[in-house]
Copies of this chain bind each other. A is one copy, B any other.
Amino acid sequence: MAVRISTAEEYEALLRDYDTWLFDCDGVLWRGDHSIEGVIQVLDMLRRRNKKVIFVTNNATKSRQTLLSKFEQLGVQAHADEVYGSAYAAAVYVSSVLKMPKTKKAYVIGMAGLEEELRSEGIAFLGGTDLADNTLESFDLGTWKRDPDVGAVICGLDTKINYTKLSKAFQYLLNDPECHFIETNEDSTYPSAHGLLPGAGSISAPLRCAIQRAPVICGKPSTTMLDSIQAKVHFDPKRTIMVGDRLNTDIQFGQNGGLSTLLVLTGITSEADITGPNASPIVPDFVTQSLGDLRAADKAP
Protein backbone atom coordinates (compact mmCIF):
# COMPACT_ATOMS: atom_id res chain seq x y z
CA MET A 1 0.00 0.00 0.00
CA ALA A 2 1.21 3.47 -0.90
CA VAL A 3 2.24 5.80 1.92
CA ARG A 4 0.34 9.09 1.91
CA ILE A 5 2.67 11.89 2.83
CA SER A 6 1.46 15.29 3.96
CA THR A 7 3.53 16.63 6.87
CA ALA A 8 6.64 18.80 6.79
CA GLU A 9 8.55 15.98 8.53
CA GLU A 10 7.52 13.44 5.90
CA TYR A 11 8.60 15.68 3.03
CA GLU A 12 11.85 16.42 4.82
CA ALA A 13 12.50 12.67 5.23
CA LEU A 14 11.97 12.22 1.48
CA LEU A 15 14.52 14.93 0.74
CA ARG A 16 16.96 13.31 3.13
CA ASP A 17 16.57 9.82 1.59
CA TYR A 18 16.90 10.64 -2.13
CA ASP A 19 19.78 12.37 -3.93
CA THR A 20 18.48 12.03 -7.48
CA TRP A 21 15.00 13.14 -8.46
CA LEU A 22 13.47 12.07 -11.75
CA PHE A 23 10.40 13.94 -12.90
CA ASP A 24 7.77 13.34 -15.54
CA CYS A 25 6.77 16.73 -17.00
CA ASP A 26 3.16 17.00 -18.22
CA GLY A 27 0.81 16.53 -15.26
CA VAL A 28 3.66 16.88 -12.74
CA LEU A 29 5.43 20.17 -13.58
CA TRP A 30 2.72 21.71 -15.72
CA ARG A 31 -0.70 21.18 -17.16
CA GLY A 32 -1.15 22.53 -20.68
CA ASP A 33 0.35 26.03 -20.64
CA HIS A 34 0.46 26.56 -16.88
CA SER A 35 3.05 25.40 -14.40
CA ILE A 36 1.57 23.70 -11.34
CA GLU A 37 1.54 25.80 -8.19
CA GLY A 38 4.68 25.56 -6.09
CA VAL A 39 6.65 23.48 -8.59
CA ILE A 40 9.15 26.23 -9.38
CA GLN A 41 9.90 26.70 -5.67
CA VAL A 42 10.25 22.93 -5.10
CA LEU A 43 12.77 22.63 -7.94
CA ASP A 44 14.67 25.62 -6.51
CA MET A 45 14.69 23.95 -3.12
CA LEU A 46 16.03 20.68 -4.56
CA ARG A 47 18.84 22.51 -6.36
CA ARG A 48 19.65 24.50 -3.19
CA ARG A 49 20.05 21.19 -1.39
CA ASN A 50 22.34 19.87 -4.18
CA LYS A 51 19.93 17.26 -5.43
CA LYS A 52 20.36 15.94 -8.95
CA VAL A 53 17.29 16.75 -11.02
CA ILE A 54 16.34 14.92 -14.25
CA PHE A 55 13.27 15.41 -16.43
CA VAL A 56 12.00 12.30 -18.22
CA THR A 57 9.34 12.56 -20.94
CA ASN A 58 8.05 10.17 -23.60
CA ASN A 59 7.60 13.02 -26.08
CA ALA A 60 9.57 11.88 -29.15
CA THR A 61 8.64 14.64 -31.57
CA LYS A 62 10.63 17.26 -29.66
CA SER A 63 14.39 17.48 -29.19
CA ARG A 64 15.83 18.49 -25.83
CA GLN A 65 16.36 22.02 -27.17
CA THR A 66 12.68 22.31 -28.08
CA LEU A 67 11.63 20.76 -24.77
CA LEU A 68 13.83 23.29 -22.96
CA SER A 69 12.00 26.17 -24.58
CA LYS A 70 8.78 24.78 -23.06
CA PHE A 71 10.45 24.80 -19.62
CA GLU A 72 11.65 28.35 -20.20
CA GLN A 73 8.20 29.51 -21.34
CA LEU A 74 6.69 28.30 -18.06
CA GLY A 75 9.49 29.71 -15.95
CA VAL A 76 10.74 26.25 -14.89
CA GLN A 77 14.52 26.19 -14.62
CA ALA A 78 16.17 23.30 -16.51
CA HIS A 79 19.42 22.55 -18.34
CA ALA A 80 19.82 20.58 -21.57
CA ASP A 81 21.70 17.78 -19.79
CA GLU A 82 18.84 17.33 -17.32
CA VAL A 83 16.19 16.64 -19.97
CA TYR A 84 15.56 13.13 -21.36
CA GLY A 85 12.94 12.83 -24.08
CA SER A 86 12.34 9.45 -25.69
CA ALA A 87 13.87 10.76 -28.96
CA TYR A 88 17.09 11.50 -27.10
CA ALA A 89 16.85 8.17 -25.26
CA ALA A 90 16.57 6.38 -28.64
CA ALA A 91 19.60 8.24 -30.00
CA VAL A 92 21.66 7.52 -26.87
CA TYR A 93 20.54 3.88 -26.95
CA VAL A 94 21.87 3.51 -30.52
CA SER A 95 25.10 5.44 -29.91
CA SER A 96 26.02 4.44 -26.34
CA VAL A 97 24.21 1.20 -25.54
CA LEU A 98 24.23 -0.56 -28.94
CA LYS A 99 27.35 1.35 -29.98
CA MET A 100 26.26 1.07 -33.61
CA PRO A 101 29.31 1.62 -35.89
CA LYS A 102 29.46 5.10 -37.44
CA THR A 103 29.44 3.50 -40.92
CA LYS A 104 25.90 2.29 -40.24
CA LYS A 105 22.71 4.31 -40.67
CA ALA A 106 19.25 4.35 -39.18
CA TYR A 107 16.03 4.38 -41.20
CA VAL A 108 13.70 6.79 -39.39
CA ILE A 109 9.95 6.98 -39.08
CA GLY A 110 9.66 10.18 -37.09
CA MET A 111 9.89 13.92 -37.03
CA ALA A 112 12.46 16.72 -36.83
CA GLY A 113 12.99 16.39 -33.06
CA LEU A 114 14.09 12.77 -33.41
CA GLU A 115 16.41 13.68 -36.29
CA GLU A 116 17.96 16.48 -34.22
CA GLU A 117 18.80 14.04 -31.41
CA LEU A 118 20.24 11.47 -33.83
CA ARG A 119 22.45 14.18 -35.31
CA SER A 120 23.57 15.24 -31.83
CA GLU A 121 24.71 11.65 -31.19
CA GLY A 122 26.43 11.42 -34.58
CA ILE A 123 24.04 8.85 -36.06
CA ALA A 124 23.51 9.01 -39.85
CA PHE A 125 19.96 8.39 -40.98
CA LEU A 126 17.54 8.07 -43.92
CA GLY A 127 13.79 8.69 -44.08
CA GLY A 128 12.35 10.97 -41.39
CA THR A 129 11.57 14.38 -42.86
CA ASP A 130 13.26 13.61 -46.23
CA LEU A 131 10.80 14.94 -48.80
CA ALA A 132 11.28 11.89 -51.03
CA ASP A 133 9.79 9.66 -48.31
CA ASN A 134 7.04 12.06 -47.31
CA THR A 135 4.74 11.19 -50.15
CA LEU A 136 1.44 9.49 -50.90
CA GLU A 137 2.68 8.34 -54.31
CA SER A 138 2.72 4.59 -54.93
CA PHE A 139 5.70 2.69 -53.56
CA ASP A 140 7.32 0.36 -56.08
CA LEU A 141 9.44 -2.32 -54.50
CA GLY A 142 10.72 -3.30 -57.95
CA THR A 143 12.60 -0.07 -58.56
CA TRP A 144 13.64 0.73 -54.96
CA LYS A 145 17.16 -0.06 -53.77
CA ARG A 146 17.82 -0.95 -50.16
CA ASP A 147 20.76 0.84 -48.55
CA PRO A 148 23.02 -1.98 -47.29
CA ASP A 149 24.34 0.28 -44.50
CA VAL A 150 21.04 0.57 -42.67
CA GLY A 151 21.52 -1.17 -39.33
CA ALA A 152 18.52 0.10 -37.38
CA VAL A 153 14.92 1.17 -37.88
CA ILE A 154 13.88 3.84 -35.38
CA CYS A 155 10.19 4.58 -35.10
CA GLY A 156 8.57 7.45 -33.20
CA LEU A 157 5.44 9.54 -33.53
CA ASP A 158 5.25 10.69 -37.14
CA THR A 159 2.25 12.69 -38.29
CA LYS A 160 3.44 12.27 -41.87
CA ILE A 161 3.34 8.48 -41.68
CA ASN A 162 2.70 6.90 -45.10
CA TYR A 163 2.98 3.63 -47.00
CA THR A 164 6.41 4.41 -48.48
CA LYS A 165 7.98 4.88 -45.03
CA LEU A 166 6.24 1.80 -43.64
CA SER A 167 7.27 -0.30 -46.65
CA LYS A 168 10.91 0.76 -46.55
CA ALA A 169 11.19 0.21 -42.79
CA PHE A 170 9.49 -3.17 -43.23
CA GLN A 171 11.93 -4.18 -45.98
CA TYR A 172 14.97 -3.28 -43.85
CA LEU A 173 13.68 -5.39 -40.97
CA LEU A 174 12.46 -8.24 -43.20
CA ASN A 175 15.71 -8.64 -45.14
CA ASP A 176 18.14 -8.27 -42.27
CA PRO A 177 17.43 -10.12 -39.02
CA GLU A 178 20.38 -8.20 -37.52
CA CYS A 179 18.72 -4.84 -38.20
CA HIS A 180 17.76 -3.27 -34.86
CA PHE A 181 14.10 -2.42 -34.39
CA ILE A 182 13.65 0.51 -32.01
CA GLU A 183 10.61 2.43 -30.86
CA THR A 184 10.95 5.75 -29.07
CA ASN A 185 7.96 4.90 -26.87
CA GLU A 186 4.88 2.71 -26.89
CA ASP A 187 2.22 5.28 -25.93
CA SER A 188 -0.81 4.26 -27.99
CA THR A 189 -2.30 7.76 -27.87
CA TYR A 190 -1.15 11.25 -27.04
CA PRO A 191 -3.11 14.17 -25.63
CA SER A 192 -3.16 16.92 -28.28
CA ALA A 193 -4.49 20.37 -27.37
CA HIS A 194 -7.98 19.33 -28.49
CA GLY A 195 -8.11 15.67 -27.50
CA LEU A 196 -6.49 12.28 -27.95
CA LEU A 197 -4.78 11.32 -31.20
CA PRO A 198 -2.84 8.17 -32.21
CA GLY A 199 0.57 8.08 -30.48
CA ALA A 200 4.00 6.67 -31.28
CA GLY A 201 2.98 3.14 -30.29
CA SER A 202 0.15 3.27 -32.82
CA ILE A 203 2.40 4.64 -35.58
CA SER A 204 4.80 1.72 -35.22
CA ALA A 205 1.97 -0.83 -34.91
CA PRO A 206 1.96 -1.63 -38.68
CA LEU A 207 5.63 -2.60 -38.48
CA ARG A 208 5.15 -4.73 -35.38
CA CYS A 209 2.22 -6.42 -37.13
CA ALA A 210 3.97 -6.98 -40.48
CA ILE A 211 7.32 -8.11 -39.10
CA GLN A 212 6.00 -10.07 -36.09
CA ARG A 213 9.00 -9.01 -34.04
CA ALA A 214 9.10 -7.04 -30.79
CA PRO A 215 10.97 -3.71 -30.94
CA VAL A 216 13.22 -2.30 -28.23
CA ILE A 217 11.21 0.46 -26.56
CA CYS A 218 13.13 3.53 -25.37
CA GLY A 219 10.44 5.46 -23.49
CA LYS A 220 8.88 4.91 -20.06
CA PRO A 221 8.12 2.39 -18.63
CA SER A 222 10.95 0.58 -20.43
CA THR A 223 14.25 0.26 -18.55
CA THR A 224 15.96 1.15 -21.83
CA MET A 225 15.15 4.77 -20.94
CA LEU A 226 16.99 4.31 -17.64
CA ASP A 227 19.92 2.62 -19.45
CA SER A 228 20.16 5.71 -21.66
CA ILE A 229 20.13 8.05 -18.64
CA GLN A 230 22.73 5.89 -16.90
CA ALA A 231 24.93 6.08 -20.01
CA LYS A 232 25.13 9.83 -19.42
CA VAL A 233 24.58 10.41 -15.67
CA HIS A 234 25.72 8.45 -12.63
CA PHE A 235 23.21 7.85 -9.85
CA ASP A 236 22.50 5.30 -7.15
CA PRO A 237 19.08 3.69 -7.82
CA LYS A 238 18.62 3.16 -4.06
CA ARG A 239 18.82 6.91 -3.50
CA THR A 240 16.75 7.87 -6.52
CA ILE A 241 13.04 8.63 -6.74
CA MET A 242 10.78 8.89 -9.79
CA VAL A 243 7.94 11.41 -9.55
CA GLY A 244 5.04 11.00 -11.95
CA ASP A 245 1.32 11.26 -12.54
CA ARG A 246 0.78 8.00 -14.47
CA LEU A 247 0.86 4.56 -12.91
CA ASN A 248 1.48 2.49 -16.07
CA THR A 249 4.28 4.68 -17.40
CA ASP A 250 5.96 6.78 -14.68
CA ILE A 251 5.47 4.62 -11.60
CA GLN A 252 6.00 1.38 -13.52
CA PHE A 253 9.15 2.90 -15.01
CA GLY A 254 10.55 3.71 -11.55
CA GLN A 255 9.69 0.24 -10.28
CA ASN A 256 11.19 -1.49 -13.34
CA GLY A 257 14.43 0.35 -12.65
CA GLY A 258 14.51 -0.39 -8.92
CA LEU A 259 13.84 3.24 -7.98
CA SER A 260 11.47 4.56 -5.35
CA THR A 261 8.33 6.23 -6.69
CA LEU A 262 6.15 9.18 -5.79
CA LEU A 263 2.74 9.60 -7.38
CA VAL A 264 1.20 13.08 -7.70
CA LEU A 265 -2.51 13.57 -8.40
CA THR A 266 -2.23 16.65 -10.62
CA GLY A 267 -2.34 14.69 -13.89
CA ILE A 268 -3.88 11.52 -15.30
CA THR A 269 -4.23 9.39 -12.17
CA SER A 270 -7.08 10.19 -9.81
CA GLU A 271 -7.86 9.11 -6.25
CA ALA A 272 -10.24 6.46 -7.65
CA ASP A 273 -7.43 4.79 -9.62
CA ILE A 274 -5.45 4.05 -6.45
CA THR A 275 -8.19 3.27 -3.94
CA GLY A 276 -11.35 1.22 -4.07
CA PRO A 277 -12.14 -2.11 -5.70
CA ASN A 278 -10.78 -1.28 -9.18
CA ALA A 279 -7.48 0.14 -7.99
CA SER A 280 -4.49 -0.48 -10.25
CA PRO A 281 -2.07 -3.28 -9.29
CA ILE A 282 0.74 -0.74 -9.76
CA VAL A 283 1.29 0.76 -6.30
CA PRO A 284 3.69 3.69 -5.81
CA ASP A 285 5.81 3.96 -2.66
CA PHE A 286 4.49 7.42 -1.85
CA VAL A 287 1.51 9.56 -2.83
CA THR A 288 1.04 13.29 -2.43
CA GLN A 289 -1.49 15.64 -3.97
CA SER A 290 0.97 17.82 -5.87
CA LEU A 291 4.70 18.24 -6.35
CA GLY A 292 4.15 21.74 -4.91
CA ASP A 293 3.37 20.11 -1.53
CA LEU A 294 7.08 19.46 -1.04
CA ARG A 295 7.57 23.14 -0.28
CA ALA A 296 6.48 22.23 3.25
CA ALA A 297 9.83 20.51 3.81
CA ASP A 298 11.40 23.91 4.32
CA LYS A 299 9.13 24.35 7.34
CA ALA A 300 10.30 21.12 9.00
CA PRO A 301 11.96 21.70 12.39
B198 touches A167 (CB 8 A): yes
User: Which size class do A's interface residues fall under?
Assistant: 35 or more
Supposing A136-B136, A138-B159, A159-B139 touch, asked if A202 and B194 sit within 8 A by C-beta, the answer is no
A209 touches B188 (CB 8 A): yes
Q: Report the minimum CB–CB distance from A248 to chain B (whole Å).
A: 12
Chain B residues positioned under 8 Å from A193 (CB to CB): 141-142
User: Of all chain B residues, which has the CB nearest A198?
Assistant: B210
Chain B residues positioned under 8 Å from A161 (CB to CB): 161-163, 166
Q: Which residues of A from 71 to 118 have beta carbons under 8 Å from B?
A: none
Supposing A162-B161, A205-B208 touch, asked if A197 and B141 sit within 8 A by C-beta, the answer is yes
> Is A160 on the interface with B (CB-CB < 8 A)?
yes
> Is A199 on the interface with B (CB-CB < 8 A)?
yes
Q: Which residues of A from 168 to 209 have beta carbons under 8 Å from B?
A: 170-171, 174, 188-189, 192-199, 201-203, 205-209
**Given A167-B197, A201-B209: 18 more A-B contacts, CB < 8 Å:** A140-B194, A141-B192, A141-B194, A142-B194, A158-B163, A160-B162, A161-B163, A163-B198, A167-B198, A174-B196, A188-B212, A189-B210, A198-B209, A202-B206, A202-B207, A202-B210, A205-B206, A205-B209
